[in-house]
Amino acid sequence: MAVKAFSNEWAKEFKDEVNRSSVYKTAAKGWKWTVGLVVEAEPDKHFPEAKGIVMDLFDGEARDVTVGPASEAQKCDFVITAPYSRWKEVATKQLDATRGMLQGKLKLKGDLPTIVRYTKASQEMTECTTRVPVEWPDEK
Amino acid sequence: MARRKVKPKLDVDSRAEVGYADDEPSAFASMLGGLIEANIRTRPEKARDFESLVARVGIFVTDIHEGVTLDFKGGNLVVHNGLKPRRTLTIRTDAETVMSLSNLKIGPFGLPVYYDEVGRGVATKLLRGKLKIDGLLTNVMTLNTVTRIFSVQ
């Protein structure tokens, strides 16, 4: 059953999806930093307020994924920021996250060598988002 | 062309500097420049390679149609948006392979490792023509040095 985009239900489904992935578990061995996703508001797409997703990831496991204000996500060790519609493109496989970062469509803040070292883990995490059925506010 | 002032180095132990030729560096240019800067700031062996390297290296990402030119000047690097003339080497490949290149492990004698999973993937792309390196035959040592500076491993 589809869940509302970037809601608490979505966060739970996403966390479970990450923890079901053996690829992520292997690729993210040694990862010990928090990751924040900032979803910028797009009122014309029925996404009126920015949201922050805080991911507590540790050694191949998603210990917690929560949705809250953008300011919380901005405190994480790594922060990826993009407008709502860009995140939707990522989650629906219309935009590859690696290409998106190289093109500046997704803005990354954090230690670059570390994130590059874990490219495979971040690619699998993106795959996990695509496996969560989502109800998009601009498609209602 | 407008040349932005080179950013000061954060590590006082090294003279290495990374700057950008364009007033608005592309996201790709900022990422590569930032990656190299972080590498040479934290890894003395990479800083030594950086100090010695004089070469103009182009990297063109085929699936986003964006390129940069890394102008290494023996302890300084100027990153240009796009491919500029008089390049020593030009690497043309997709975004995923650019990430793989920066994940190549460095083995004995400072040579990139092509026998592990990442290395085999890069070698296969080279053999299949999905990774093209212009100027490779006459600049193998330069490619190895660039790989060492670029690699996060």
The reply to whether B3 falls in a domain is no
Query: Is B4 part of a structural domain of the chain?
Result: no
pLDDT over 60 (residue B120): yes
Name the residue in chain B with its Cα closest to that of A103.
Answer: B27
Tell me what the pLDDT averaged over chain A comes to.
Answer: 95
Domain range for B112 is 17-150
Low-confidence ranges of chain A (pLDDT < 70): none
Classified by CATH at the fold level, domain A3-127 comes out as Nonspecific Lipid-transfer Protein; Chain A (3.30.1050)
Tell me which residue in A105, A112, A117 faces B31 most closely, judged by beta carbons. A112
The closest CB to that of A99, out of B34, B64, B100, belongs to B64
Say what percent of chain B tops pLDDT 70: 90
- Number of domain units in chain B: 1
Stated pTM of the model: 0.87
- What's the CATH code of the domain at B101? 3.30.1050.10
| Whether B66 and A102 lie within 8 Å, measured CB to CB | yes
Q: Is 0.95 exceeded by the ipTM?
A: no
Q: Residue B16 — pLDDT band, cuts 50, 70, 90?
A: low
SS3 B116: coil
Residue B70 lies in a domain: yes
pLDDT given for residue A140 in this prediction = 74
- Per-residue pLDDT tens for B85-109? 999 999 999 999 999 999 999 999 8
Banded pLDDT at B8 (limits 50, 70, 90)? very low
Residue B5, in any domain of the structure: no
Residue B38 placed within a domain: yes
Q: Which residues of A touch B26 (CB under 8 A)?
A: 104
Residue B1 has pLDDT above 70, yes or no: no
